[in-house]
């Protein structure tokens, strides 16, 4: 860019922000020192992004205006919810963009108990929605560890999974309709509130898991359900991931309707929870720890049903030991171990993170191949195998030796990531089970799924012909990685 062009571009950008500030109020546009790390970094402070401004519209009309003005000025738009996403989708490395924060789009417009649906703005935090629904004896079926920050728009845009997928499905299965603002500012809605609405395919569903590349989700109509009235939680020790799988099979055959969560953690993961709370001690010792939850809307004796199922699993030798929580407080404490270890990884520092899936029957093989690879090729690194076993979803993380400098760990970490990717593909698995593609996996996506990549690119062209919506996320930009 020549000097004159640069001066023109700076003047245009200044003009854009002054127009936006006029329309949205000074609180709606943050520039310079007002752009804090809260916006530019991800949850774990692992990835830092940059931007020209943070723009915080408070209504669909304002989002529409922002998109139209930015498109006209050729400035890219990176939508951002609670920035808990783990693949860098809401952080732009180059900074020639605005961050469109949905923070102020936080109204719950409707909760309809007869229709079992709700209409919420994109910036509503998942936990706030759950609280409002619980007050009415209702619930939303997605449960993730980041629910205190993650927003509905983020959940939809990443098609988030979480701990209830085996019972309730991923976010996509809860979306009845969406309101989407396209790059040119047009507002398109498929929100009818109808459970059955087969008037042709809904093109807006491309935004589910679309990671902001197709438009800004401003509202969602979500399927909800009655709140559970009985539940039971158990912590089980197994000798291996193979035995944990046998336990899952056993529980499914006898209690499929009420089995609402089945989470696994290798023993090496548990000390990590103590980075968050030093008093988090597992109630038993075993090579593999399993959290099992039964839930129902009926008043069922789930504690005794779960106890009986576990007793027979112990007789058959695929469970070594088990503790059934005697109160809600005890159940919460058991869940804190599972949730704590995720935060513990971040508190410990840089680590390799993965989110892979294989067909359920191959999960034990995936764990042993990945752990063997780390032990033989990268001695000193600590394997962390945990995840949503009920969905064949494994988070295989690798912690560098504590004495290793971060720069060296990051460089080796890239090679470990590639090895994880290779092993999972050999097992016909997926290198992204629930976190999405974002920026960190966009290169792999293009490399391994060229037909899907090419078709998505064509569809993107219809939604965003100028390519201003979250460039480089999901679909890498030409010449990029």
Ligand X SMILES: Cc1cc2nc3c(=O)[nH]c(=O)nc-3n(C[C@H](O)[C@H](O)[C@H](O)COP(=O)(O)OP(=O)(O)OC[C@H]3O[C@@H](n4cnc5c(N)ncnc54)[C@H](O)[C@@H]3O)c2cc1C
| Selected binder of ligand X within 28, 49, 141, 162 (CB under 6 A) | 162
Residue 433 token pair: 């089970």
Residue 272 interacting with ligand X (CB under 6 A): no
Residue 166 interacting with ligand X (CB under 6 A): no
Residue in this structure with the two tokens 């394997």, named with its chain if needed:
383
Residue whose CB is nearest to ligand X in the complex, by number: 154
Task: Find out whether 198 and 249 touch, Cβ atoms under 8 Å.
Answer: no
Residue 209 interacting with ligand X (CB under 6 A): no
Residue 434 interacting with ligand X (CB under 6 A): yes
Going along 309-362, which residue ranges are E strands?
321-324, 356-357
Stretch 29-88 residues interacting with ligand X (CB under 6 A)? 43, 78-86
Stretch that binds ligand X, among 151-159, 316-324, 358-366, 413-421 (CB under 6 A): 151-159
Residue 390 interacting with ligand X (CB under 6 A): no
Whichever of 289 and 435 has its CB closer to ligand X, that residue is 435
Residue 357 interacting with ligand X (CB under 6 A): no
DSSP state of 268: G
Task: Find out whether 154 and 84 touch, Cβ atoms under 8 Å.
Answer: yes
- Taking each helix axis as running N to C, give the angle between helix 241-255 and helix 302-315, from 0 to 180 degrees, rounded to the nearest 10: 130
Distance between CA 58 and CA 69 in Å, rounded? 16
Q: Which residues contact 51 (CB under 8 A, 6 or more apart)?
A: 35, 39, 40, 78, 92, 95, 97, 98, 99
| Selected binder of ligand X within 175, 342, 398, 399 (CB under 6 A) | 342
| Selected binder of ligand X within 16, 97, 144, 398 (CB under 6 A) | 144
Per rule CB under 6 A, count of chain residues that contact ligand X: 39
Instruction: Report the run of H or E that residue 16 belongs to, with start and end.
Output: helix 3-24
Residue 157 interacting with ligand X (CB under 6 A): yes
Beta bridge partners of 314: none
Distance between CA 115 and CA 117 in Å, rounded? 5
Task: Find out whether 214 and 464 touch, Cβ atoms under 8 Å.
Answer: yes
Whichever of 324 and 363 has its CB closer to ligand X, that residue is 363
Residue 211 interacting with ligand X (CB under 6 A): yes
Whichever of 79 and 237 has its CB closer to ligand X, that residue is 79
Torsion, Cα 242 432 148 299, to 10 degrees, reads: -40
Minimal distance, residue 308 CB to ligand X, in Å: 29
Residue 435 interacting with ligand X (CB under 6 A): yes
Whichever of 287 and 457 has its CB closer to ligand X, that residue is 457
Positions touching ligand X (CB under 6 A) are 43, 78-86, 89-90, 102, 122, 144-146, 149-151, 153-155, 157-158, 160-162, 211-212, 216-217, 342-343, 434-435, 438, 470, 473
């Amino acid at each position: 860019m020549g000097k004159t062009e640069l001066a023109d571009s700076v003047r245009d950008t200044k003009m854009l922000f002054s127009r936006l500030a006029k329309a949205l109020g000074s609180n709606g546009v943050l520039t310079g020192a007002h752009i804090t790390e809260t916006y530019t970094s991800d949850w774990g402070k692992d990835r830092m992004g940059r931007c020209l401004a943070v723009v915080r519209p408070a209504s669909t009309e304002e989002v529409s205006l922002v998109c139209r003005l930015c498109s006209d000025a050729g400035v890219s738009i990176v939508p951002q919810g609670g920035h808990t996403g783990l693949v860098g989708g809401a952080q732009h490395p180059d900074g020639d963009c605005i961050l469109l924060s949905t923070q102020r789009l936080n109204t719950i417009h409707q909760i309809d108990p007869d229709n079992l649906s709700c209409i919420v703005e994109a910036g509503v935090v998942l936990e706030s929605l759950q609280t409002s629904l619980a007050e009415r004896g209702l619930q939303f079926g997605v449960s993730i560890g980041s629910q205190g920050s993650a927003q509905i728009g983020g959940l939809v845009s990443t098609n988030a999974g979480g701990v209830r997928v085996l019972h309730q499905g991923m976010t996509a299965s809860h979306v009845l309709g969406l309101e989407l603002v396209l790059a040119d500012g047009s507002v398109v809605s498929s929100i009818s509130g109808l459970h059955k609405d087969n008037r042709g395919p809904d093109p807006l569903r491309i935004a589910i898991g679309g990671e902001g590349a197709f438009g800004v989700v401003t509202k969602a109509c979500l399927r909800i359900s009655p709140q559970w009235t009985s539940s039971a939680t158990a912590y089980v020790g197994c000798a291996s991931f193979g035995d944990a799988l046998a336990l899952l099979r056993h529980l499914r055959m006898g209690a499929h309707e009420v089995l609402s969560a089945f989470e696994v953690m290798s023993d090496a993961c548990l000390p990590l929870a103590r980075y968050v709370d030093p008093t988090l001690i597992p109630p038993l010792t075993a090579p593999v720890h399993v959290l099992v939850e039964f839930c129902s809307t009926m008043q069922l004796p789930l504690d005794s049903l779960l106890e009986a199922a576990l007793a027979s699993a112990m007789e058959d030798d695929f469970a070594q030991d088990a503790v059934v929580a005697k109160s809600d407080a005890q159940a919460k404490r058991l869940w804190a171990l599972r949730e704590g270890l995720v935060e513990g990884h971040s508190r410990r520092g840089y680590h390799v993170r993965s989110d892979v899936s294989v067909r359920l029957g191959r999960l034990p093989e995936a764990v042993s191949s990945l752990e063997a690879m780390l032990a033989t090729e990268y001695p000193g690194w600590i394997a962390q195998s945990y995840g949503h076993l009920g969905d064949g979803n494994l988070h295989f993380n690798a912690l560098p030796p504590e004495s290793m400098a971060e720069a060296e760990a990051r460089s080796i970490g890239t090679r470990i990531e590639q090895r994880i990717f290779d092993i999972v593909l050999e097992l016909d698995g997926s290198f992204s089970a629930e976190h999405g593609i974002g920026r960190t996996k966009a290169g792999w996506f293009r490399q391994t799924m060229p037909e899907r990549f090419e078709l998505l690119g064509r569809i993107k062209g219809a939604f965003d012909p100028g390519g201003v919506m979250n460039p480089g996320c999901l679909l890498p930009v030409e010449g990029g990685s």
